[in-house]
Structure 1
Amino acid sequence: MKFFHRLLLYFQKHGYYVCQRIADRLGIRAKIVRTSFMYLTFVTVGFGFALYLFLAFWMRIKDIVYTKRNSVFDL
């Protein structure tokens, strides 16, 4: 249990240091940069999922419209 706690603290310290440096560079608080990264992550994952559903729907419609029929009686 101690190992995981130390590992978590290590990643928090060094991972957030990146956000801290960006915040210092832009002159804003690091908390804003961290939450912005989290929101962007959720937005892009959501956008990718929505794009996937849209393409799946589009391909299904295309398959329905452009199916080849062998004869008139296949309707």
Structure 2
Amino acid sequence: MFQRIVTYFEQQSFGVCTYLAERLKLSTGRVRLFFIYSSFLAVGFPIVFYVLAAFVLDVRRYMRKIRTRIWDL
């Protein structure tokens, strides 16, 4: 049951930790742990950063889809 919940959240997540881990050449698990521990220490500021990063990444994906559609004409 727990594994199904973890799998669901990994598939439905925004991909912020994965993106940062690939850019910084770190493991995804370490970046996730950093967000978890820092959110406890910094009273939620990393959560705000995570949501803003998710929004920016979503907008970038949307813009890439539009660009490929325009140039495919």
What TM-score results when the alignment is normalised by the length of structure 1? 0.42
* Bigger CA radius of gyration: 1
Structure with the bigger RCO (C-alpha within 8 Å, sep 6+) is 2
What TM-score results when the alignment is normalised by the length of structure 2? 0.43
